[in-house]
A and B are shown apart, each in its own frame.
Chain A
């Protein structure tokens, strides 16, 4: 009797469970593919029920959507959960669908000077312990950093070496040496950084007199020397025949408010005269020469870049082994297209400016 009732109870419990599960189970021929990191589900079953486009299509689509969503939710509810501020939160796995990136992979940094040297010599980093025994304080201290083990600036007694000046301050000397080392380290770090980002540092090329300097280098050296005073070159006298440097100082100069009334009147009348006159005030030769010079510089820079890139890629394979020919050429094509557009813009503008004189502009017509 009791055996029967136990069996009955068990059977009933099973039936109840099955009923409950039925509410959330969905039968599909092919299992769906889930990418829970993206909350994505792909159903490969051919949607045969929807072949006939008719009024019931919406309802059928909805039923299909409901089934698929139920399966996705079943999967999501099986993920490990946390309780964060009284809300149940599921921990999602990494997304498995591989999607293309927005921006290219960052380039590997060029090696620093030390890394190049170490690679050349075959020096490998030695594994060092974190703490070092310090005799003086009788404890284990850091190898470097705050309260390090052998800090020579913190000594309380320094013996004056035999050949040193007895009046010299040995403590100050040590502190000075430390500062110099820190500054040198910082300079090297910045130089490595500039090399990595290919920034052009203000080169000290012409500053050391060698005797074989070009006119430009000397000019540059003179400029730098003029400006390297405490007043940034404001009170430097010029040589008798030296011309004032063009383009230095402030970009806009304003006349003082209360100045020379006569000068002000003259400048205003001059402005009116210019506005009234029909002839253009632009020196066409100078404008076109400037334009041509700019273009030449641009092309030279581009050529230099291409030759540098070619040299670099040809020289070292480096960490990024494969060389992609596709994108640079595509990029090149596009740049050419844009450049073409811009070129078409310029002749129109210069045409407007030309008045009567067609002297300048050998190329641009």
Chain B
């Protein structure tokens, strides 16, 4: 869900358009949102979240991007996601430099391809803000989850670098060149929008709401393998449960010399019969 706020500069508008182009056909671009009874725009997602939630409910979108521009916060972009139609996380970034899709005159990849995402820089794991930002960006830009991917169809890469408090977002088109072996050599060609972002305010969900949103239903949890154990040396032990064996029918090695001859067998039977008669 891409929303243009009340006062949006041309840069911000262009950014929203480009992201919409990247995320087709899953995005919804809202121009200058108006509420139905009350003529009000969503001017401040950080203050009032009800209209955002209303729109997410109507369009059934849980990820949103809101662009605006004022003197205090020029070229502002708020990226956020929802849980159960309530705002979970919102991160405000400022756009410092922007090169749009149109400005780079190259061939573009077809829309709807699943991009590859690369995050560079140790900042992404150090601060909680950055970690949430990374998870938010992954959520936003990864495509639908697929189980198979065509190797020749991997065409495009989004690369995020965190450096000196700024985040550089670049998108490249992939060119697979021959190398001697099976894996090709990669050459990159700058294709899509490139943004230089600065982290401004954040509105992160409280810990327990975040935990609630991460809850997985029992069916999706990985099933524990029973009767398999590992020891410290790496050997795998398994347990097999057998049914009770009938030991009289056990097949052992036959020694021909010990085989009962027919005369002996008859004698044994008679003995057994006499024993039974005695008992009765």
Contacts and interface: CB of A to CB of B under 8 A. Distances in A.
A153 B46 CA distance: 70
A39 B188 CA distance: 17
Interface in A70-109: 70, 72-74, 76-78, 81-82, 84, 87-92, 95, 97-106
Interface in B186-222: 186-188, 190, 206, 208-210, 212-217
A70 B190 CA distance: 16
B115 A39 contact: yes
A37 interface: yes
B150 A23 contact: no
Given A46-B121, A327-B212, A100 B88 contact: yes
Given A91-B148, A92-B149, A101-B215, A68 B206 contact: no
Contact of A77 (B117, B124, B182, B209): B182
B138 interface: yes
Contacts of B128: none
B118 A97 contact: no
A97 B209 CA distance: 18
Chief secondary structure at chain B's binding surface: mixed
Interface stretch (B13-21, B163-171, B231-239): B163-171
Interface residues of B, number: 68
A326 B182 contact: no
A20 B122 contact: no
Contacts of A341: 38, 50
A89 B149 CA distance: 5
Nearest to A326: B208
Contacts of B88: 100
A17 B212 CA distance: 52
A23 B138 contact: no
Interface residues of A, number: 66
B90 to A, nearest CB: 13
B174 interface: yes
Interface of B: 37-38, 50, 53, 62, 81-84, 86, 88, 114-122, 124-125, 134-135, 138-139, 142, 145-154, 157, 159, 161, 163-164, 168, 170, 172, 174, 176, 179-188, 190, 206, 208-210, 212-217
10 contacts: A20-B181, A21-B181, A23-B185, A43-B120, A43-B121, A45-B122, A65-B170, A69-B186, A98-B214, A330-B86
Interface of A: 16-17, 19-21, 23-24, 37-47, 50-51, 53, 58, 61-62, 64-66, 68-70, 72-74, 76-78, 81-82, 84, 87-92, 95, 97-106, 324, 326-327, 330-331, 334, 337-338, 341, 345
